[in-house]
Chains A and B, each alone.
Chain A
Amino acid sequence: MEKRLIKKEALAGIAKKMAGDFLVWAPVKKEDNVLFEPLKKDTEPFFAYLNSKNAPKNVFFPHTETMMKYTRTEKGMTFSQDQSKVGEAVLFGVRPCDAHSFALLDMLFDQEKYKDDYYVAKRQKTTVISLACAQPPYATCFCTSVDGEPVSADGADILLTDLGSDYLVEFITPKGEKLIKYFGETKADTAAETKKNEIIAKAREAIKSKIPAHEVKPILDNNFEHPFWATIHGKCLACGTCTYLCPTCHCFDISDEVKGSDGVRIRSWDSCMFPLFTKETSGHNPRPSQKERWRQRTMHKFKYYVDNFKAISCVGCGRCVMYCPVNIDIRKIIEDISKL
């Protein structure tokens, strides 16, 4: 594996240079938030950030996207596949937890049978550069409980680790190596290696928030009807913030929009927190209250995904914990389940 060293202040310049050659998504300051946005000539990437407010999953799985277009004819509608080409792109500087989420989303969208062309096309054309958490940003971070690491290349093609005055640049995949020319000629020495290992240990140590994520699986297997499920949702507003900010939530709706004789079929993020998500035409709803919806969200991440893909569908980013308007804390829920 090829390794290079670059000066810390050189990073923004590298991102901007790449942006001259293809689409680069990078963290950008927007009012009080940091968001991943396509880098334009006059925007400055902001790499000294903690984590982005939104998970960067929208790069591969946009909030709303066109699936097909159609036109009204005398006999009815005729359709055409959306022909917009997916170009080469770089997702520059995502946190390891969010990169981990891509590996999890791949399991669902990139299956042998029923490949999701929209997701897969963007994912294949995009090189992911992770920016390791040399200092874990939040007290709510719990990646080490859900098979993650603050310094990890999981889901990434290139890994950047802050060594103090330099970044260690590790080219993880052949896709990552294709971008090597942007990162200068300075090869990383063994001292850099040693430094990185120290940082790994320190960063792991700094993650204080821990949840028994693996331990709850056998409990969830046997407690679908447990009275505990009636105790979570009392204050839930069903706003869906947790699912919208979640890097691994993938549920979507498909809807049609028509203007004049032309229309589009689009897909948009949906949420298991919403009553209409499962409501049938007859009026029957298999998940009639917020209780069943919370059970679904918890089960999906810590049991169903494990049953289907042998992986927990939570990366420990803590966004749902930080931004829930009524302070529902998934860490507390998992902790409580472990004691059932």
Chain B
Amino acid sequence: MQNPYIPYPVKVDKIITEVDTKDIKTFRFTFVNKEDEEKYKYIPGQFGELSIYGKGESPIGIASSPTQKGYVEFTVQKAGVVTAALHEMEEGALMGLRGPLGNSWPLEYLEGKNIVIVGGGFAFTTLRSLINYMIHEDNRKRFGKITIIYGARTPGLLLYKDELAQWAKRSDLNLNVTVDKGDANWKGKEGFVPNVCKEVAPSAENSVAVICGPPVMIRFTLPVFFDLGFSKENIITSLEMRMKCGIGKCGRCNVGSKYVCKDGPVFSLAELDKLTKEY
């Protein structure tokens, strides 16, 4: 069996600068050893440890969908030692990737239901993975209506702009992109995510809301969904904690008896209610 602490060697195949502040980039990795790609079978919502020798590791949600073959993508904000080193890397560079780690978005539970995706700012990455998975031609019919509400502070801070444009053309999903404040070229919605959720008012019937964003967005968005009639079982989110091993051994990312790295990062609000508020 593979030693879970040893990363797969990967090549930085492509780097896309996502935002006008240039501090969020998407890194596309290909596996140096083709057979590793088969071993790196992941589900949307899982994360990986990006491993830069000499710097360390950083746990980051997987932004690509398993339906995208041949590579794995991570969208990373430049923040600490490892992510800063990553942002300095060039296409063609070699580094390491561990995982896939953690549980995932509960795909089986989501099947047959209407899905409401709510994302704020940079926390849209594993939601993007889920969206691309659900709208893939092999999977689309297994899910009901798909409603997406995605907001960023400014148009320049929206991730995946090309994909958003593609999704906007589709008739099988309802895309609502909003910014806190638009600029001269912005023709879309203006307003905070909770308010847009109120406007769009997705029905709670046979529906699940998957919500990721900054704490302040989550705080104001949850009451909207409670008012719409969503139960805590049907509101799902993903936690972040400081991590090292990613496999529930090093002891730092636990919330109560659960390790966010191994038992999470995905939890329903009903599950979170049972845990202590230490995150």
User: A residues bordering B, Cβ < 8 Å?
Assistant: 67-68, 70, 72-73, 75-79, 81, 108-109, 114-118, 224, 250-256, 258, 263, 265, 267, 270, 272, 277-282, 286-287, 292, 296, 299-300, 303-304, 307-308
CA distance A116 to B262 in the complex (A): 14
Chain B positions 225-255 with a Cβ under 8 Å from a chain A Cβ: 240-242, 244-245, 247-255
Residue in A79, A114, A224, A304 whose CB lies within 8 Å of B7: A79
Chain B residues near A118: list those with CB within 8 A: 5
How many chain B residues have a CB neighbour from A under 8 Å? 42
A75 in contact with B251 given A224-B276, A280-B241 (CB within 8 Å): no
* CB–CB B95/A77 < 8 A: yes
Chain B contact residues: over half helix, strand or loop, or mixed?
loop
Chain B residues near A263: list those with CB within 8 A: 53-54
* CB–CB B54/A114 < 8 A: no
* CB–CB A81/B6 < 8 A: yes
Most chain B CB within 10 A, of A256, A263, A280, A307, is at A256
Q: Within the complex, what minimum Cβ distance (angstroms) separates A103 from chain B?
A: 17
* CB–CB B93/A75 < 8 A: yes
B224, CB-defined interface residue at 8 Å:
no
15 contacts between A and B (CB under 8 A): A76-B53, A77-B52, A77-B94, A109-B249, A251-B250, A252-B244, A252-B245, A254-B245, A255-B56, A272-B252, A279-B242, A280-B241, A281-B242, A286-B241, A304-B257
A304 in contact with B256 given A278-B241, A287-B278 (CB within 8 Å): yes
Q: Within the complex, what minimum Cβ distance (angstroms) separates B161 from chain A?
A: 25
Residue in A77, A109, A303, A308 whose CB lies within 8 Å of B54: A77
CA distance A292 to B276 in the complex (A): 12
CA distance A278 to B254 in the complex (A): 10
* CB–CB B57/A73 < 8 A: no
Q: Within the complex, what minimum Cβ distance (angstroms) separates A313 from chain B?
A: 11
* CB–CB A272/B249 < 8 A: no
B96, CB-defined interface residue at 8 Å:
yes
Most chain A CB within 10 A, of B247, B248, B252, is at B252
* CB–CB A76/B244 < 8 A: no
Most chain B CB within 10 A, of A114, A117, A118, A308, is at A114
Q: Within the complex, what minimum Cβ distance (angstroms) separates A41 from chain B?
A: 35
B239 closest partner in A (C-beta): A286
A114 in contact with B278 given A75-B92, A76-B95 (CB within 8 Å): no
Chain A residues near B80: list those with CB within 8 A: 281
CA distance A267 to B279 in the complex (A): 24
CA distance A280 to B58 in the complex (A): 11
B141, CB-defined interface residue at 8 Å:
no
* CB–CB B250/A77 < 8 A: no
* CB–CB A270/B4 < 8 A: no
CA distance A67 to B57 in the complex (A): 13
CA distance A308 to B242 in the complex (A): 21
CA distance A279 to B241 in the complex (A): 9
User: B residues bordering A, Cβ < 8 Å?
Assistant: 1, 3-7, 9, 52-57, 79-80, 83, 89, 92-96, 240-242, 244-245, 247-257, 262, 276, 278-279
CA distance A113 to B95 in the complex (A): 25
CA distance A109 to B5 in the complex (A): 13
CA distance A224 to B273 in the complex (A): 13
Most chain B CB within 10 A, of A281, A286, A307, is at A286
CA distance A304 to B275 in the complex (A): 11
* CB–CB A77/B4 < 8 A: no
A79 in contact with B96 given A250-B249, A252-B251, A256-B56 (CB within 8 Å): yes
* CB–CB A286/B54 < 8 A: no
Chain B residues near A296: list those with CB within 8 A: 254
CA distance A252 to B5 in the complex (A): 13
* CB–CB A114/B242 < 8 A: no
* CB–CB A115/B1 < 8 A: yes
Residue in B1, B54, B251 whose CB lies within 8 Å of A70: B54
For the complex with contacts A256-B53, A270-B251, A281-B80, 12 further pairs of A-B residues with Cβ separation under 8 Å are A68-B6, A75-B93, A81-B6, A109-B249, A115-B1, A270-B252, A277-B242, A277-B252, A281-B79, A282-B79, A286-B255, A307-B257
Chain B residues near A252: list those with CB within 8 A: 244-245, 249-251
A224 closest partner in B (C-beta): B276
Q: Within the complex, what minimum Cβ distance (angstroms) separates A178 from chain B?
A: 26
Chain A residues near B254: list those with CB within 8 A: 296, 300, 304
Q: Within the complex, what minimum Cβ distance (angstroms) separates B228 from chain A?
A: 29
CA distance A304 to B278 in the complex (A): 14
* CB–CB B53/A70 < 8 A: yes
* CB–CB B5/A67 < 8 A: yes
Residue in B53, B95, B252, B276 whose CB lies within 8 Å of A278: B252
CA distance A117 to B248 in the complex (A): 14
Chain B residues near A278: list those with CB within 8 A: 241-242, 252-253
